[in-house]
Amino acid sequence: MRRSRLILEDGTVYDGIGFGAGKESGGEIVFNTSMTGYQEILTDPSYKGEIVVMTYPTIGNYGINFDDEQSGTAQVNGFVVRELCNNPENWRSRLELEAYLHKNDIVGIAGVDTRALTKKLRKNGTMRGLISSEGSGTAQLSLKARKLPALSEQDLVREVTTQKPYQTGKAEGMRIVLIDCGAKKNIVKSLVRRKCQVIVVPAFTDAGAIMSYQPDGIMISNGPGDPGAVPYVVETVKELLGQRPIFGICLGHQILGLACGAATYKLKFGHRGANHPVRDLRSGRVYITSQNHGYAIREDSLAGLELEVTHLNVNDRTVEGLRHKKYPAFSVQYHPEAAPGPRDSHYLFDHFISLIA
């Protein structure tokens, strides 16, 4: 471990102790309010390009196992914690968090006042920043942070999507094509658990190639960055609308909205955590959901479109669910596969299967 600093683009400095990879790393600073699930967060491709601040004070206390990863490697650009636990106690633990970050070449910093940092991000919005152990001056490092590309300037989906198609599940089951914009493994598992054959294709696969698989249904996965940075996926979904039932999750929700003519915008500090309340407008029921996104659908852009809002965020009334009025297509902004304690959002996968049936 070594002395390290987190420097924001406005020049604010947070001192701490570096752990994990011994290098400098930059990205957009975001915070996650989950009490557990740091391994799922680290390996979620939706965090590509971001440095994640954990608001829960002690991280690493149950170690790392090899079953809960949501992709083949850690995806975050950096990891910020208040207190690092390097003596985990859990029967599933196979590795300490520090060793895991070092193995995956991810920079971490501990000892940071994460409460103060989170309050700053809530007040001022997300910022770019650097984790650095170098002796450079603050002004020089904050300038370097300001020169980092914004998420809206990057096509991060191409960095995390599979490069070639693959399939899993029961060959005799319903055939689902999953457009991989950075899909979490639990999405695939949720479909396989329902006896589906899942064909995972790269995000840049065109509509003709997708239909050549003769799918029964199509899913658009979660993924990182600005939905406006992936117009090629939006165009593909436009062509697929009405041909097969479609289900979009997170980035997939935003892409479906854009494909139907809606607009998106960047949230001030995003929704990232495992305790976000969402109301289903049809039943009135409120679900506690897992979320990870920095962009949302503009509700005022839906006027005159063939889209119906099905879910709203209870905290800020952002659009959390859409349904197409004409075609069998729907989406949610949150993660029904994540099971943040309750599993009551799993019904969405069953609804997708029923649409196909």
What is the pLDDT confidence band of residue 255, given thresholds at 50, 70 and 90?
A: very high
293-318 core/surface letters (b: 16 or more CB in 10 A; e: else)? bbbbbeeebbeeeebeebbbbeeeeb
Q: Read off the tokens for 294.
A: 């920095």
CA 312 to chain centre: 19
Task: Give the pLDDT confidence score for residue 97 in this predicted structure.
Answer: 97
Pull the structure tokens for residue 74. 């850690």
pLDDT value at residue 77: 97
135 pLDDT above the threshold of 90: no
Establish how many alpha carbons lie within 13 A of residue 141's alpha carbon, considering only the half-sphere containing its beta carbon. Answer: 23
Take residue 224 and report the two structure tokens written for it. 């990182």
Q: What whole-number distance in Å separates Cα of residue 143 and Cα of residue 193?
A: 49
Q: What distance in Å separates the CA atoms of residue 16 and residue 8, rounded to the nearest whole number?
A: 14
d(CA 76, CA 27): 9
pLDDT in tens, 59-106: 999 999 989 999 999 999 999 999 999 999 999 999 999 999 999 999
CA distance 171 to 213: 13
Q: Which of 253, 276, 311, 335 is catalytic?
A: 335
Q: What is the C-alpha separation between 34 and 47, in angstroms, rounded? A: 14
| Options 181, 196, 250, 260, the catalytic residue | 250
Which residue intervals of the chain are DSSP H helices? 38-42, 97-103, 114-124, 138-146, 157-160, 185-192, 207-211, 231-240, 251-259, 347-356
* pTM as predicted: 0.96
| DSSP 8-state class, residue 228 | G
Q: Which CATH superfamily is domain 157-356 in?
A: Class I glutamine amidotransferase (GATase) domain (3.40.50.880)
Taking only the tens place, the pLDDT of each residue in 158-179 is: 999 999 999 999 888 999 999 9
pLDDT in tens, 201-240: 999 999 999 999 999 999 999 999 999 999 999 999 999 9
Is pLDDT of 136 > 80? no
Question: Is residue 110 within a helix (H) or strand (E), and if so which, with residue range?
Answer: strand 107-110
Summarised one tens digit per residue, pLDDT across range 327-351 is 999 999 999 999 887 888 999 999 9
3-state secondary structure at position 288: strand
* CA distances, 231 to each of 89, 201, 240, 320 (Å): 46, 17, 14, 21
175-193 confidence digits (pLDDT tens): 999 999 999 999 999 999 9
- Rounded to an integer, the average pLDDT of 137-142 is 87
Which DSSP letter does residue 185 get? H
What is the rounded distance in angstroms from the CA atom of residue 156 to the CA atom of residue 172? Answer: 34
pLDDT of 139: 87
3-state helix, strand, coil in the chain (%, to 5): 25, 35, 40
**Residue 250 is among the residues annotated as catalytic for this protein:** yes
Note the Cα 37 to chain centre separation in Å.
13
Domain boundaries, the chain: 2-148, 157-356
Closest-CA residue to 105 (of 86, 70, 79): 79
Judge contact between 174 and 356, C-beta under 8 A: yes
- CATH number belonging to domain 2-148: 3.50.30.20
- Say whether 172 is catalytic: no
Determine phi and psi for 295, rounding to 5 degrees.
-130, 160
In this structure, are strands 319-324 and 307-313 parallel, antiparallel, or unpaired? antiparallel
Residue 309 C-alpha from the chain's centroid? 21
Q: Is 181 a catalytic site residue?
A: no
